[in-house]
Structure 1
């Protein structure tokens, strides 16, 4: 073999080794996962579907995977916005974010046990006790022990709370009207029925 042929052969071998190294390096690098775009809303899904997943673009199951269309996110967003606006409207009456639900529940139902009030407001017992202590200090409620069970308290709205009943109901009605703007009465009733079903399902989550 001549020096020229030997040089050409060595160069080819070097080129092949370089190509193999580049191929191995590319294969070992993690591939960036491209999120699939929802065919309905044109937004990226939170996670790309599995490789063997069937093509379900456009169906209800596919739509639910979009973050902006998540039922839990929508409900949480509405709850936060309503809470924020209601707290702003009730600020002149010295009712905080976690306090007005207890006052409203008492005004609508009347006096009840502390445990029942926790159930009505969907709050745990320790949170309920803390909030009621604050409301008692502010003069919105009074608590009296139950004679048959000294460990249980009955909670009563005070005249100060009763005086706010009409204003509280007015503010709640106004906020609900703003929230349901553009919905017909039939649509509003349908929405209430569906929300009540969700409420029942949520109440059953603890028993699963």
Structure 2
């Protein structure tokens, strides 16, 4: 009787092992993404089984509780895109991708995935990092640089005008000095001519 029980237990174990090995549990891998400002970002999750449904929520941090906003993708509710198609889901067998066009600074952060398959469901998290989200600040820096250059050009122009004015003033001063020196000579010449004319008379 004991051997029959052992045999039954072994058969039960083998049947359970075989059903588990044939009905493998679903696994999902979600990858972090880094992209440039205003480019298209593709956040993807891959499964070893066919993905049937996807729910994606935008979060400040996937690991932080209550930081997730409303779903941007929810195939249960037939929501395959949001923001007039700027964010959209591409689902092909065991690969799910969320394409975000013209990424903005507000797109940066975590994306919490709820993935469903016939073999079970899993949660995943992917982080989107934008390498240059501060384009407006860069534009402001360019404006500041242009203003500084304009100021330097105006200063140079003012320096040139001052130099020319000084040269003219110096030229006027030299001419005045020449006139001052010539006046005594002219007076002496006039007095000499008067003396000559007086002697002739």
TM-score normalised by L of structure 2: 0.20
More strand by share: 2
Larger radius of gyration: 2
More helix by share: 1
